Amino acid sequence: SAVISQKPSRDICQRGTSLTIQCQVDSQVTMMFWYRQQPGQSLTLIATANQGSEATYESGFVIDKFPISRPNLTFSTLTVSNMSPEDSSIYLCSVRTSGYEQYFGPGTRLTVT
């Protein structure tokens, strides 16, 4: 299994600012992901965070808006840049273990005013 922590757990931010979300895992994992869940919706994959190289973004998501860092096998950050109210969502960090089971962090609830 994997235990994931995220910081902050929630934040209220002003339009045009940026927020960086941290994700820490209690064990080394190869595959780490960032998801977004808009109100009342299912999860949407933003990107796969690759250790030591640039993240792989899904269609509709770009690095300028959602820069991701992955300096090692237990830590990653997601920045939501130049925020607008449409970015108000829960942002979730997730990892996949060697047994192909996927675990999720507690989420960061972001409100943009």
Partner 1 sequence: KQEVTQIPAALSVPEGENLVLNCSFTDSAIYNLQWFRQDPGKGLTSLLLIQSSQREQTSGRLNASLDKSSGRSTLYIAASQPGDSATYLCAALLIGANSKLTFGKGITLSVRP
Q: Which residues bind partner 1 (CB under 8 A)?
A: 4, 6, 33, 41-43, 45, 48, 56, 90, 92, 94, 99-107, 109
Q: Which CB atom, from 82 or from 102, has the smaller least distance to partner 1?
A: 102
Helices (H), the chain: none
Considering the complex, state which of residue 63 and residue 82 has its C-beta at the smaller distance from partner 1: 63
Q: Which residues of 5-34 are buried (b: 16+ CB within 10 A; e: fewer)?
A: ebeeeeeebeeeeebebbbebeeebeebbb
Q: How near is the Cβ of 102 to partner 1 at its closest, in Å? A: 6
Residue closer to partner 1 by CB (options 10, 82) is 10
Q: Cβ 98 to partner 1, closest distance in Å? A: 13
- Cα torsion 45, 46, 49, 50: sign: positive
Q: How far is the CB of 16 from partner 1 (least distance, A)?
A: 25
Q: Is the separation of the CB atoms in 57 and 47 below 8 Å?
A: yes
